[in-house]
Amino acid sequence: MGQREINGARGATRENLTSGSPGNELKQYNKLTGHSEHYQEYADTVRESLVHYGIQEDLANAIITEQMFLLTTELLFRLQKLEAENKRLDNNLLAYGRISKRSAAESTDDNDGRPSKKPTHNADTAPNMSTPTAGVTTRDPENNDPTYDILTNVVVPGERHPSPKLKRDPSRDHPNPVGYRTEDEDSEDESNLSTAEANRRLAKRQLDFDMYSGRIDNVWGVVLHPQLSPQRLNILRNTLPRHTWFSERSNTVFTGNTAIAAMQWERTHDNAYNPFKNPLYATAPRGVPRNPLEVKGLVRITQDETFEPWVRVEAYILLRVLKNAAAMSNPQVHDRAMQCLEKVSVDEFTPKVDENEWMEIALPHDFDRIRNFANLHKNNRGMGIPMPKREHSLLIDDFAQYALMHARPGSISPLPGIAMRLSLEVDRRSSFGQGLVRVLGPVDKAARHEFTKAFAALASHANRYREAIEAYDAQNPGAPFEAQEGPTYSFVRSSLTIEGAKLFGIVDIIELLVRNRIPVSWIDHAYPFGFNYLNARISRPIPNNHHLAVYDDERLARIDRFGVPPAIPEWDGWRQPSEDDRLRLYVLMSLDEKAKPKCQGFQHYTWIRIGDPAFQRFLKFRDQNIIDDQERIAAARKAPTGSTVALDDNDDEMIDATSHDTEDNVMGSALLMEDDIPTQGIASLSLKKVNSI
């Protein structure tokens, strides 16, 4: 057929499209132009797409011509891409709209997702979990429209933040000083001595014991000198308050006007400052007392009115510094000075001086040197730091620093799961776990709570991911699991949305990890994150059939069976704070203390004491005694013992510790200090509180 006949046929077809059957006319056009049946099928598909987007049928047939066909398909392709992008934006807008309601949604989490009545002890069948079959999900794709987001160029932890190398005390660990360590040395016959001589020897014995510092625990570190006994490193693991100055040259702590003088001297001279005008340093040469003798000497100064009021106040502050350090550490690491001071109440060394003497004397720190003037607002006064980019979330020291500044326990917006010590050290393993949550978590912010909970549960269950990999390999012998290898990684983030969150669980997490080829060692390394997340979420005793309790029971059972998952040595340890970190926290924590509702700060129970590890066997509110008590309570109520019992309306999975300062919650806190040792923050303006970092 010639080109003239084809053009004529096309014209005839266009003229007759408005009459008769459009399908027959299109077939006639195809017959005239010589197009195949495959072309006909493809044209029919394009025609249906045009009708779908609102084009009338007769006009759709007119569009499908040889000249317009390629252009039409290209336009349809672009339209479909725009439609998908529009849908993604709609999902994001919905997520943003839900963020303001997120707190309310979390507080009613258990009541919104009541499980079935069928009892079971299997952690896989707890609420928010899928059927325990590795690699299979029970989510309905139509109700869980995926919004995929691929994250590329993810880097793993590199060089770690430098940590100070503490020197250990080489002394022998003995409760008695030299000369009193054997029965012969400590049992001299005093029956023939006069009363005066016996009293003299008794006084000498007491003096020898009071002067004895004992061996300093490794957690504090020591300063070694050839002619002197080992001295405790008096920086006290970053617990010094902001109005003190620590001299690295002399291992001495100064406060008040003496601190300003020492600071100015050592910044302009090469030698250590000598406080020869301050009599308290004749009693305690290093400021913070090193032994019981110096403790008793400073206590006497605080109560002796012959001393100047400012001297008595400085003596009081130095005693409070040591008492705070003791309160923030495990008693097993206390030295003899701390043990002596523990027996003395604060009232016994609080001087009775005029209120004006208690005014804080601030040290002239250079805050502008670290202030971020580009991000200056009332919430951080320029002391905040930016959150690492998502692809840098596994740079654990960077992410740990951000968490310390902006997501501490007891702060306005804490990140449950990251372990932090009261010495401002951040556990790298739990920081890594939170980083994994960030790189793999869903785009829908409203669904991230359920995602994090399921991930933490998996991370806390030793060997479970390894078992899933073994099952995957058995099902796919021709294509076994192969973990990604660096140096950079790419991940597909979870497609979870708020609509599918209630059906999301551990199996879905496993499926996502396998799809992203996450190494087993990474999940083992994240175990402390799982432990600390559960510890933060269970903020009071809960029934043993609560789904978080079921998670914890599974954790305990697997620890007994497999042991604690191993760490990746290169990514292990604690990130130590820098001096700039401390300066930033001086400001940020002072703002927290003024927040409403008031933040708990250092009184929050999830802070870890100095000398304690990043995780224990039991959670704070689920030790063996509490577990047994809950078992008895359930038996008394004749309640089912399975994991699917519906909770009362007031049995939420957690209490917001920042807004529920109930007596039970406060008394149950393992790390709350004594009533006379407030340690909410590092920046309280009242010297009578002397709050440590």
Per-residue tokens: 349: 């060394």
Q: How confident is the model over 321-362, as pLDDT tens digits?
A: 999 999 999 999 999 999 999 999 999 999 999 999 998 888
Task: Specify the higher pLDDT residue, 445 or 598.
Answer: 445
| Residues recorded for the chain | 693
| Environment class of 411 (CB within 10 Å of its CB; exposed 0-12, middle 13-18, buried 19+) | buried
Backbone angles phi, psi at 489, to 5 degrees: -130, 160
Beta bridge partners of 228: 225
The share of the chain scoring above pLDDT 70, in percent, equals 73
Contact 151, 491 (CB under 8 A): yes
Q: How confident is the model over 26-69, as pLDDT tens digits?
A: 455 454 444 455 556 667 777 777 777 777 777 777 766 655 65
**What span, in angstroms and rounded, lies between the C-alpha atoms of 190 and 185?**
13
Angle at 466 between CA 462 and CA 467, to 5 degrees: 95
- What was the pLDDT predicted at 367? 85
| Environment class of 56 (CB within 10 Å of its CB; exposed 0-12, middle 13-18, buried 19+) | exposed
CA 530 vs CA 125, 241, 597: distances in Å: 19, 32, 28
Per-residue tokens: 425: 């050290």
pTM assigned to the model: 0.72
- The dihedral over CA atoms of 246, 249, 250, 256, expressed in degrees to the nearest 10, equals -30
The share of the chain scoring above pLDDT 90, in percent, equals 53
Q: What is the mean pLDDT of the chain?
A: 79
| Environment class of 208 (CB within 10 Å of its CB; exposed 0-12, middle 13-18, buried 19+) | middle
Residue type, 170: P
**What span, in angstroms and rounded, lies between the C-alpha atoms of 152 and 2?**
55
**What span, in angstroms and rounded, lies between the C-alpha atoms of 581 and 693?**
11
- What was the pLDDT predicted at 71? 61
Q: How confident is the model over 370-397, as pLDDT tens digits?
A: 888 777 777 778 888 999 999 999 999 9
Residue 86's pLDDT band (boundaries 50, 70, 90)?
A: confident
**Is a pLDDT exceeding 50 seen at residue 83?**
yes
What is the DSSP-derived secondary structure letter of residue 252? E
Q: How confident is the model over 124-151, as pLDDT tens digits?
A: 434 343 333 333 333 333 334 444 588 8
**Is a pLDDT exceeding 50 seen at residue 109?**
no
Mean local confidence (pLDDT), 111-129: 38
3-state helix, strand, coil in the chain (%, to 5): 50, 5, 45
H or E stretch including 402?
A: helix 396-406
The residue among 414, 693, 397 whose CA lies nearest residue 535 is: 414
